[in-house]
Amino acid sequence: MNAFAPNPLRQGLVEDRLPEPCTVVIFGASGDLTKRKLVPALYSLMAERLLPPSFAVVGYARKEVSDVAFRGEMKEWCGKHARHKQTEELWSQFEKGIYFHTGDYDTPEDYQALKGRLDQIDKERGIPGNRVFYVSTPPSTFPIVVKQLSDNGLINKTGTGPFTRVIIEKPFGTDLQSARDLNAHCLKHLAEDQIYRIDHYLGKETVQNLMVFRFANAFFEPLWNNRYVDHVQITGAEALGIEGRGGYFDHAGILRDMVQNHLFQVMALTAMEPPVSLNATDLRDEKVKVLKALRPIPEGRFDEFVVRGQYRAGSVAGRPIPSYQEEVGVTAGSTTETYVALKMFIDNWRWAGVPFYLRSAKAMPKKVTEVALVFKDAPHRLFGEKSSNEPNVLAIRIQPDEGISMRFGSKVPGNTLDINPVNMEFRYGTSFGTEPPEAYERLQLDCMLGDQALYTRADEVEASWKYISRIHDEWKRSFARGIPTYEAGSWGPDESDAMLRRSNQAWRRL
C-alpha cells in the first residue's frame, strides 16, 4: 500500500486542517519530551498527511550535534514512540526537514545565528517565514528564551505577514505571583494570540470527548446539574513513584505537578456551561467562569477540604517501592506531598451544593485518570431491600483504556426481583478499531493552525493559581505538623476516606 494514499475517512477534512508551511523550533531538543513525544507526534502528523509539504523541524540545545546525527537519533525515537509505523519512504521525506542548531539559552549571538539558519532553511524548503517556537526547557529559562527571541528579531510583532507562535511548557509559574510575573513578561514581548500555554491533557482524545459527550447528546446534558448529580470525582493516579525525579518533584509536589493544571482543566471542562461556539475565546471564557466560581476554602477549616499524604515503602503490582524519604534527590524530613485530595464547591446555578472531589497521587495500585459523576438515589426506593445500594455512575476514562462506562441497576435473571449493578461500556479501541492520536499531535497541529482553543489563557492560569496558592500558603504555616503517610500500593491516607465519609460518600473503587 502506498504510504501516501489518502485515508478515505479523512476525505473532505484534511484540506480544512492543513497548516501553512512553517518551521517548528524546539528549545530543549536534547530532552526526553522531544524524543518521546514532540518529534514522534510530528512524524505521525506527516503520516496522516496533516503537515504541509514545506515543513521543517529545528532542534535547539547546548550540546554539539550535527544535522545527520540528530536525524539518526530522531529516527530511532520515532521508531519506538510514533503512533504510525515507520517506513523508509515516509521517513526519507520527513528527515529532509530535520535540522539541529547548537546554542545557549541566554546568548544573543546564538539567536542571531539561529535567525540566519532559519532564513536559509526557508529558502531551501520554500517556507515563507512562519515559525512555531516550542519552549521545552527548564522553567527558569522560559522568560530568558522569550526575551532573547524578541530582542533578536525572531518574533514578528506587526500582526501581518508570516506568523510567530510560542508554545510554553508547564509549569507556567509555581504560584499566583510567579504566574502573574511570567504572564506580564510574555505579554511584553508577544501578543496574547501568539502565546500557547500548553497542558497536554487538553489534547487527549477523551478529554475533548467530554464536550462532545455533553453537548452533542440531548439525553445527558439535562442530567448534568445539582438536581441529579450527588457529587463528582476526578482522579489522576500514577502507579509509579517519583522514579528518580526527586530533585524536581521535591520542590513541586503533586498539587503543582498534576492538580493545578491537568485536573483543574478536566474539572473546568466537566463543569462549564455550553460555549457559544468552539472558538478559543468562547471556550476559554466558560472555563474561566468555572475557576472564578470556586468557593474559597474558609480560613481555619483547610483540614475539612484538603488532605495530603506521602508514600512510605510498599509495593505496586509485586514491585517494591521505597519510601519517598529514601528517594534520590529528596530532602531529609521533606513534607512534600505525593498525594492530595480536595473537596471543592462551584458556586453557580448549575452546581450549587455539589461537591467536586479531586485526587492525584504517586505510588497508587494502578495508573488511571477518570471523571465520574455519581448520581443521587431514585426519589423513592420502589423495590425496597432488593434494590442495589450502589448509586448510578457515569465514568469517563481518560487513560488508560479510554472510554465511557455507565453503572446502573438491573434485574438479576430468575423468578425473584433481585437487583444488581451492571456496567455498560464504550471503548475507543474496540469501537473505532484504532488507537486515539497522541495529545501532542493535536496540540502541535492546532498551534500551526493558529487555534488556541485547547491552550490555556492568561486569566485561566491565574484563576487556578489563586485557588492553589492559598493551599500552599496554609501548608507553609502548618509545616511543623508533619504530613500523613500511606503505604505505596494503597489508595492513600485514611484521612482522605474520612473526608468523604463526613458527607456519607466514598471514593470509587477503580
Write the pLDDT tens digit of every residue in 86-117.
888 899 999 999 999 999 999 999 999 999 99
Share of the chain above pLDDT 90, in %: 70
Contacts of 41 (CB under 8 A, 6+ apart): 82, 438, 440, 441, 444
**pLDDT tens, position by position, 364-379:** 999 999 999 999 987 7
Residue 506 Ramachandran class (φ > 0 left, ψ -120 to 50 alpha, else beta): beta
DSSP helix/strand/coil, 159: coil
> What DSSP assignment string belongs to 366-389?
S-EEEEEEEEPPPSS-TTGGGS-S
Q: Alpha-carbon distance 346 to 295, whole Å?
A: 6
DSSP helix/strand/coil, 307: strand
CA max distance for the chain: 84
Cis peptide preceding 400, ω within 30 of 0: yes
Contact present, 487 and 198 (Cβ < 8 Å): no
**Domain 8-169 grouped into CATH 3.40.50.360:** no
Q: Alpha-carbon distance 99 to 159, whole Å?
A: 28
Contact present, 417 and 411 (Cβ < 8 Å): yes
Helix (H) or strand (E) holding 429: helix 428-432
The CATH code belonging to domain 202-437+456-501 is 3.30.360.10
Q: Alpha-carbon distance 137 to 142, whole Å?
A: 7
Strands 22-27 and 131-135: parallel
In DSSP terms, 167 is beta-bridged to 134, 196
**pLDDT tens, position by position, 233-286:** 999 999 999 887 888 898 999 999 999 999 999 999 999 999 999 899 999 999
User: Catalytic pick from 84, 251, 262, 380?
Assistant: 262
In DSSP terms, 356 is beta-bridged to 232, 344
Strands 393-399 and 368-375: antiparallel
pLDDT-derived band at 5, boundaries 50, 70, 90: very low
Q: Is 262 a catalytic residue?
A: yes
Return the exposure string of 469-484: e unless at least 16 CB atoms fall within 10 Å of the residue's CB, then b. Answer: bbbbeebeeeeeeebb
Q: Is the pLDDT of residue 2 over 60?
A: no
Contacts of 14 (CB under 8 A, 6+ apart): 6, 7, 49, 50
Residue 243 Ramachandran class (φ > 0 left, ψ -120 to 50 alpha, else beta): left
Contact present, 204 and 269 (Cβ < 8 Å): no
Q: What is the 3-state secondary structure (H, E, C) of 188-235?
A: HHCCHHHEEECCHHHHCHHHHHHHHHHHCCCCCHHHCCCCCEEEEEEE
Q: Alpha-carbon distance 134 to 33, whole Å?
A: 11
Closest CA to 441 of 208, 221, 276: 208
**Average pLDDT for residues 331-356, to the nearest whole number?**
96
**Average pLDDT for residues 328-340, to the nearest whole number?**
93
Could you give the C-alpha distances from 403 to 15, 101, 200, 375, in angstroms and in order?
Answer: 29, 41, 18, 19
Q: Alpha-carbon distance 139 to 257, whole Å?
A: 13
Average pLDDT, rounded, for the chain: 89
pLDDT-derived band at 207, boundaries 50, 70, 90: confident
The whole model's pTM is what? Answer: 0.90
What ranges in 272-383 are assigned the alpha helix state H?
Answer: 280-292, 302-305
Contact present, 396 and 207 (Cβ < 8 Å): no
Contact present, 361 and 492 (Cβ < 8 Å): yes
Helix (H) or strand (E) holding 23: strand 22-27
pLDDT-derived band at 12, boundaries 50, 70, 90: very low
The residue ranges of every structural domain in the chain are 8-169, 202-437+456-501
DSSP helix/strand/coil, 132: strand
**Average pLDDT for residues 40-55, to the nearest whole number?**
93
**Are 8-169 and 202-437+456-501 in the same CATH fold?**
no
Q: Is the pLDDT of residue 363 over 90?
A: yes
**pLDDT tens, position by position, 62-83:** 999 999 999 999 999 999 999 8
